[in-house]
Structure 1
Amino acid sequence: MNKTKLLLIISLFISASAFSQLSMERTDEGILLIEGKKKIAFYKKDAIMMNLDKGRNNYFHPVYLPDGTLITEDAPADHIHHRGIFWAWHQVLIDGKLIGDQWELKDFIHDVKSVEFHRVEEGMASLKTIVNWNSPAYENGKKPFVQERVSVYIHEQQKNYRILQFEIELKALVENVALGGSDDVKGYGGFSVRVKLPADVVFSSDDGVLIPHNEAVKAGDYVNVSGSMAQHSQPGGVLIYSANEFETANDWILRSENSMQNAVWPGRQPVALSESEPTVLRYAVVLYSGKVKEKRLLKNLRKLSWN
């Protein structure tokens, strides 16, 4: 092999590696996660242009399918407080007193203290955030009462899908902090995904097709939301996986139009947050264009390592 041909092969290899590398771009509002030239998701650190109040940050939007389709929605007219991929609770209490509604962003402030991006290993990167929770209804908003630490692991695209892993740690900074979902029979709250839903949307899990109800549906450790969701009304979807063992780990609030999809925790009844040991919530979101084999994909998801 001559020297010119060898140099060309090396150059092409380096170019291919650089193109597929996970990286990020900082902007005034947050961090864009990319793989080569492909947009993956945007972390809203400071949602300047649409901050309906001081709390509208600390979520992911836009989020894209592997074919480039923008799949999430932010501040839709039907539920203006919905925001891409987010986690939030209606009942935020101290000493049994409601001090804010994180879900609807009432009397609630996300104070983002740090955002760090790292390449952790070949084929994976992480985005780590530290966010303090404040409320004007508690110490005039000057004293945080919960610290949230989140690690998002971004996996390189595999064939027609990509995995995003979310590990959320919540630790009380003061005594007697508790979180609860909506104070009704639905009890929704926790990790949620607001995606664009086509008319032919289908929900499925281990036992087959799921039918959304007003209250939570028992669906195992994942829900696959699929339909004509990719470009040009081609098949695509979002699979949400819960790697948790708490009581509501298999409870899902599902909606076929004008709403989010929610992995329920803790439900209607508030639970206390510890000052010494963080409460840890673990989820994965699979973004895919085309079709996927659920059983094969779930086998890989259930093998994911967690801190």
Structure 2
Amino acid sequence: MNKTRLITAILLFSVSQLSAQISLKKELGGIWITDAGQNIAFYQKEPMSLNATEKRNNFLHPVMLPDGTTVTENIPDDHPHHRGIFWAWHQIFIGDQQVSDGWDLKNFMVDVKSIEFQRTPNGDGLLKTGSFWKSPLYKDGTEAYLEETTTYTFHQKKGNYRLIHFKIRLVPLVEGLKLGGSNDEKGYGGFSARLKLPADVVLKSAEGTIKATNTAVQAGNYVIVSGSMAKNGNGPGGVMLYADPNNPLNSQSWILRDKDSMQNAVFPGRYPIALEKDVPLELNYTIVLFTGKLKERYVLRDIQADDSALTDE
């Protein structure tokens, strides 16, 4: 290789390395996260709604597979309160009074106060959001009853997949705060994903294929939702949902659906748990967005290395 070609190759490599990194761009209502200029997820900062009372924000939608196919849904006809990648609870109590239903967006407001973004030395991106939960039934909505700090780690695409890690930190600002899932045999609540589900969808865990049932199933630390989800519904792909085994009350319970609904890592279940004032509750989850087939062994190794680095801070 002559000197001119060598210099050209070095310059091209440098430009490639510079462009292959996670970035942020502002847009009306929120923020796009990009990888080498390609949209990968949108953070909805400002409240959006179909009516004046059920406003939603503080979630990710759209979220894209590595080929650019949108894999999430927001405001679907069957469950209008579902919203991309989100976490929510039906039962939010202060003492004996239910002040909010964060799942159905009743008496529930999220005031996003801060957004920070930084790029790691290897080109991944950290998005940190600070918000406050409020209700018209508590101090007429003038004061918050809970502070949420969530750190999203957006990883660059690696082969045919991408990892997004979520560290959700909830700090009660009042005495007597309790969180619980749906008050029925399903007990759903917590980290959830409303995905576009194809007719050939397959649900799988480390133990093999899972059959969706009305109530929660024991599926280990992760589930994989796959089928004709890539190439705008014409190619194989999917999403892995991973719940950190070190999460509190880890029951390995999942509410899983094969059509017209969401996938949920159940926490804490039907019966509300008491949260101590000023003591953080931390929950960690990872989603893996992939096209083609997923090599679980390699992906799990990446997830566990990522979890260890991010939860030991």
| Shift, 1:137, TM fit | 1.0
| Shift, 1:4, TM fit | 3.4
Distance 1:36 1:49 in 2: 31
The one-character-per-residue Cα deviations of 1:43-80 (angstroms, maximum 9, x if unpaired) are 00014475764641000000000001000000000000
Q: Give the partner amino acid of 1:272.
A: A
Q: Does 1:234 align with 2:267?
A: no
Q: Secondary structure at the match of 2:229?
A: coil
Would the aligned equivalents of 1:170 and 1:273 in 2 still touch at CA under 8 Å?
Answer: no
Which of the residues 287, 290, 295 maps onto 2:289?
A: 287
Q: Secondary structure at the match of 2:282?
A: strand
Q: 1:152 to 1:52 in 2, by over 3 A?
A: farther
**Counterpart mapping for 1:108-187 below 5 A:** 108-187=108-187
Would the aligned equivalents of 2:21 and 2:124 in 1 still touch at CA under 8 Å?
Answer: no
**Counterpart mapping for 1:50-61 below 5 A:** 53=53, 55-61=55-61
| Shift, 1:273, TM fit | 1.7
Q: Secondary structure at the match of 1:31?
A: strand
Q: Does 1:277 align with 2:272?
A: no
| Shift, 1:94, TM fit | 0.3
2:244 corresponds to: 243
Q: TM-score, normalized by length of structure 2?
A: 0.94
Distance 1:85 1:106 in 2: 19
Q: Secondary structure at the match of 2:293?
A: coil
The one-character-per-residue Cα deviations of 1:5-27 (angstroms, maximum 9, x if unpaired) are 34322321122113211101011
Gaps of 5+ in 2: none
The one-character-per-residue Cα deviations of 1:100-159 (angstroms, maximum 9, x if unpaired) are 100011111000010111112314210000110000111100010000010111111100
* Number of matched pairs: 307
Q: TM-score, normalized by length of structure 1?
A: 0.96
Q: Secondary structure at the match of 1:303?
A: helix
Gaps of 5+ in 1: none
Q: 1:32 to 1:23 in 2, by over 3 A?
A: same
Q: 1:51 to 1:58 in 2, by over 3 A?
A: farther
2:96 corresponds to: 96
The one-character-per-residue Cα deviations of 1:170-228 (angstroms, maximum 9, x if unpaired) are 01001111100000010000000000000111111111011111110000000000111
- Aligned CA RMSD, in angstroms, stands at 1.5
1:297 corresponds to: 299
